[in-house]
Structure 1
Amino acid sequence: MITTFIAFITDCILGDPQTKYHPVSLLGRFIGAADKFFYKPGKSPAYYLIAGAGIAVAVTALTFALMRSMVMLLHMTLPLYGVYIVKGVILAFLICPRSLAAAALAVRREIVNGNLAEARKKVGYIVGRDTENLDVSEICRAVVETVAENTTDGIVSPLFFYALGGLPLAAVYKAVNTLDSMMGYKNGRYFYYGRFAARLDDVCNFIPARITAILLVGAAFLRHFDYRNAVRIIRRDAHKHPSPNGGWAEAAAAGALGVRLGGYNSYFGKMSFRAYMGDPLRDLTEKTILRAVQLMYTASIGAVIVAALCRYWE
């Protein structure tokens, strides 16, 4: 219990340090090196499937072994209160409520200041779509969708796996999520090569995504947002998302905030359409971003409390 609260407080105070020595940054560099070494142009689909799966299995196994060894070393060398503190700091590296909020509010600040070009630039840091032609409403939609989706990936899922298996399992989830973010694309290079990583991420997020929806409904109730509409939109629209998991948080946020998410997005100059989620009861404005961040933080506190209760002995 102490470890979980230390992690959340540490993240709220310090955020995610922007350094190349951040554990996730180191993990990403390792995955990148393995990717370059094993990717061979002109190979068969079977080779790419096997090579991609091999990278994913090796990375997750190594992550588990290293984190398990580190936890054992902490228990052998530190007094109990010291173990709680260090484990809490490590867990703080695996969750990102403050960084997520900071990125969203940075975009909001530029909109409030009337600097649309800078808002487009900053939203481009946190979304994969083309942003150079987005108007204010579309910028706000992109931010709200990212905040909702990352409530699962960046907060609830790591805490879910921490509750199940402590730091080693939470670190394994972070490795899986990093693998997916680097290799889980449906383009020519990664269509087969990154398929295992993408499917593994889908499996890992299946339960946490649905827990996130429940937490967002609870957060909407506590924030006096429209929690009844959140439930209605989850039931109606969550399954429409192309991802088996992404729609749950987005539908919950759309319903709670009374906005419509989804629609047309441009990726590398090519337009695509994603099913709408929610109804346009309110306009998407900078205030929507603020409300989405409030919703995310409240749901995060709920996730922290649940994880702490599940790991009450540490």
Structure 2
Amino acid sequence: MRMSTAVGLVLGFGLDRAVGDPRRWHPVAGFGSAAAALESATYRDGRMAGVVHEVVLVGGTAVLGVAVDRVGRGRFAVATALTALTTWTVLGGTTLARTGRAMADRLEAEDLAGARALLPALCGRDPEVLDADGLARAAVESIAENTSDATVAPLVWGALAGIPGLLVYRAVNTLDAMVGYRNDRYRNFGWAAARTDDLANLLPARVSGVLTVALAPLIGGRPAAALRAWRRDAAKHPSPNAGVAESAMAGALGVTLGGRTQYRYGPELRPTLGDGPAPRVADLRRAVRLSEAVQLAAALTAAVVSLSPK
């Protein structure tokens, strides 16, 4: 694509590593507020209403992305700066890793109340019904899935489509997190958001899986075990993408993920992924280290891809 895209993606990744998410006036939070406000007008218990909600918000974001991209067209420094700022805005990998470490710290200190209070920052499960082992498992599964969602996927779409790709992916993923649930309110209205997110993550989840397999030795894991768990178990998962990320992580760590999963809207019985014992605190720390390695590899890969002829 353009040198400015490659450099901007790397700089934006570095900015995320240095400072994490913006502490105030986060654009993604602003998008979420706008989506919630629009939902009050578009909500109906039907799929078509959800399609309209998705098209308006994702389409509007695409228009914004194209407009921002045109501002920098032909001006290397401006284009690079805009790409870097956009990349920083849509990435969440550093915050994910920090939260994973904080969870491990609280579990090691046997601070279950603190660990339960932290869990909603990682996933939507009901923390009140989880013991220390359940919290560790939930955190590992969230680290695995969100390594792809929060970093690998936006970088992949940034490499393929520049600033519009970065912004549109984050809009799609945010809407899925807001309405893409199987509960009574969103089973129909959130269908479009959930399916769009599945499509947007088909390629990134598999990039994340390949990197997890390749980098497993960095945490004492075996690529063959990670690949075996991916090939054997990923298709069991109800998500076509989370199953890839979680099974590859389970194989790399040598643990078993899945089983009964309690959400606020009710329980789900998830298939087991991987082989070995349930994850403990040490495994959570290893998962965070592997996540950071996958994120860095994804950033470098995205930069190379963005320079390749299209």
TM bucket (normalised to shorter chain) is over 0.9
Letter in 2 for 1:14: V
Paired with 1:234 and 1:278, the residues of 2 have a C-alpha distance of 8
Letter in 1 for 2:68: M
Q: 2:255 aligns with which of 254, 259, 268?
A: 259
Aligned residue pairs: how many?
A: 303
Q: Is the 8 A contact 1:263 1:276 kept in 2?
A: yes
Instruction: Please name the residue that 2:3 is paired with.
Output: none
Q: Is the 8 A contact 2:86 2:167 kept in 1?
A: no
How far did 1:62 drift?
Answer: 0.9
Instruction: Please name the residue that 1:74 is paired with.
Output: 72
Q: Which stretch of structure 1 is more off in the superposition, 112-121 or 256-265?
A: 112-121
Q: Which stretch of structure 1 is more off in the superposition, 250-259 or 260-269?
A: 260-269
What is the CA deviation profile of residues 262-314 of structure 1, one whole-angstrom value per residue up to 9, with x for unaligned ones? Answer: 0112223743311000112x45221111100111111111111111001238x
Does residue 1:290 correspond to 2:294, yes or no? no
Instruction: Please name the residue that 2:89 is paired with.
Output: 93
Paired with 1:115 and 1:304, the residues of 2 have a C-alpha distance of 35
Paired with 2:173 and 2:294, the residues of 1 have a C-alpha distance of 20
Does residue 1:302 correspond to 2:297, yes or no? yes
How far did 1:124 drift?
Answer: 3.1
SS at 2:181 equivalent: coil
Letter in 2 for 1:27: F
Paired with 1:266 and 1:175, the residues of 2 have a C-alpha distance of 27
What TM-score results when the alignment is normalised by the length of structure 1? Answer: 0.92
Q: 2:36 aligns with which of 28, 32, 44?
A: 32
What is the CA deviation profile of residues 226-271 of structure 1, one whole-angstrom value per residue up to 9, with x for unaligned ones? Answer: 2211011011101110111110010000000011100112223743
Q: 2:62 aligns with which of 61, 64, 79?
A: 64
Q: Is the 8 A contact 1:216 1:252 kept in 2?
A: yes
Identical columns (%): 36
RMSD over equivalenced CA pairs, Å: 1.6
CA spacing shift, 1:32–1:128, aligned 2, 3 Å: same
Instruction: Please name the residue that 1:243 is paired with.
Output: 239
Structure 2 gaps, min length 5:
1-5
Instruction: Please name the residue that 1:7 is paired with.
Output: 12
The aligned runs of 1:1-314 (5 Å cut-off) are 1-19=6-24, 21-40=25-44, 48-75=46-73, 80-268=76-264, 270-280=266-276, 282-312=277-307
Q: Which stretch of structure 1 is more off in the superposition, 222-231 or 145-154?
A: 222-231
Paired with 1:190 and 1:124, the residues of 2 have a C-alpha distance of 19
SS at 2:127 equivalent: coil
Paired with 1:129 and 1:184, the residues of 2 have a C-alpha distance of 15
Letter in 1 for 2:101: L
SS at 2:123 equivalent: coil
Letter in 1 for 2:31: L
What TM-score results when the alignment is normalised by the length of structure 2? Answer: 0.93
